[in-house]
Amino acid sequence: MRNRTDIYDRRKVKSNPPIKNRKFNSRMQAKLLLVFCVIALFLFGLMGRLVYIMQMDGDRYAKSVLSRQSYVSAILPYQRGEILDRNGTVLARSELQYRLILDPKRLHMNPDSIEPTLKALTEYFHLDYAEVFNILEERPESQYVILKKNLHINMVEGFEAIMEEDDTIMGVWFDKEYVRTYPFGTLASDIIGFTSADNIGYYGIEEYYNDELNGTNGREYGYYDATLKIERIVKKAENGNSIVSTIDANVQRIIQKHIKEFNEEFGSKNIGVLLMDPNNGEIIAMASNDEFDLNDPRNLEAFYTQEELAGMTEEQKMEALNEIWKNDIISSGFEPGSTFKPITVGASLEEALATKNSTYICDGGEYLGGSYIRCSKRSGHGEITLEEALMYSCNDALMQLANAQGRHLFYQYQTRLGLGQKTGIDLPGEAAGILIPENNLNVTELATSSFGQSFNVTMVQLAAAYSSLVNGGYYYQPHVVRKIINENGATVKQHGEILVRQTVSEETSKFIQQAMYRTVEEGTAKTAKVPGYAVGGKTGTAQKLPRDAKTYIVSFLGAAPAINPKVVYFVVVDEPQNVPRQADSSIATKLSSRIMAEVLPALGIYPEGEIDYLLPEATENDDNDDTLEGDSGNQNQSNTNNATNNDENDNSETIDTNNSNNSGTGNTADSNTSNSTGTTNTDNNEETADNPNTSAENENTQEVEDTNDVTSSDTDVSNGNSSENANNLAEDDDEEFNADAIGPIDE
Query: Is residue 9 exposed (0-12), middle (13-18) or buried (19+ Cβ within 10 Å)?
Result: exposed
| b/e sequence 272-286, b meaning 16+ C-beta within 10 Å | bbbbbbbbbbbbbbb
Q: Which residue has the higher pLDDT, 666 or 22?
A: 22
Name the DSSP letter for residue 572.
Answer: E
Q: Which of 495, 527, 428 is nearest to 207 (CA)?
A: 428
Handedness of CA 640, 642, 644, 647 (dihedral sign): negative
Indicate the average pLDDT of the chain.
80
CATH superfamily, with its number, for domain 73-245: Penicillin-binding protein 2a (Domain 2) (3.90.1310.10)
Q: Which of 392, 378, 458, 389 is nearest to 425 (CA)?
A: 458
pLDDT, position 63:
57
Upper half-sphere CA count for residue 176 (Cβ side, 13 Å): 15
Asked, colleague to colleague, whether 73-245 and 328-746 share their fold, the answer is no
Say if residue 108's pLDDT is above 90. no
Cα→Cα distances 562→26, 518, 684, 735, Å: 97, 9, 19, 31
Per residue in 82-97, pLDDT (tens digit) is 999 999 999 999 999 8
Say if residue 14's pLDDT is above 70. no
pTM: 0.74
Residue % of the chain over a pLDDT of 70: 76
Distance CA 369, CA 389 (A): 23
Q: Which of 445, 414, 450, 449 is nearest to 432 (CA)?
A: 414
Angle between helices 459-470 and 506-521 (to 10 degrees): 110
Say if residue 3's pLDDT is above 50. yes
pLDDT, position 182:
96
Q: Which residue has the higher pLDDT, 721 or 600?
A: 600
- Contacts of residue 85, defined as CB under 8 A and 6 or more positions apart, other chains included, come to 91, 245, 247, 248, 249, 252
Which phi and psi (to 5°) does residue 280 adopt?
-155, 0
Which phi and psi (to 5°) does residue 270 adopt?
-165, 155
- Domain spans, the chain: 73-245, 328-746
Lowest-pLDDT range of 135-144, 500-509, 573-582 = 135-144
- Report strand pairing: 371-374 vs 654-656: antiparallel
- Contacts of residue 69, defined as CB under 8 A and 6 or more positions apart, other chains included, come to 223, 224
235 - beta bridge partners?
A: 219
Say if residue 592's pLDDT is above 70. yes
Say if residue 601's pLDDT is above 90. yes
Per residue in 545-565, pLDDT (tens digit) is 787 888 899 999 999 999 999
- Contacts of residue 304, defined as CB under 8 A and 6 or more positions apart, other chains included, come to 312, 320
Are 452 and 349 within 8 A, CB to CB? no
pLDDT, position 472:
95
Say if residue 346's pLDDT is above 70. yes
Distance CA 333, CA 329 (A): 9
Distance CA 144, CA 122 (A): 18
Cα→Cα distances 667→325, 340, 435, Å: 21, 20, 12
654 - beta bridge partners?
A: 374
pLDDT, position 167:
83
| CATH T-level topology, domain 328-746 | Beta-lactamase (3.40.710)
Distance CA 244, CA 205 (A): 10
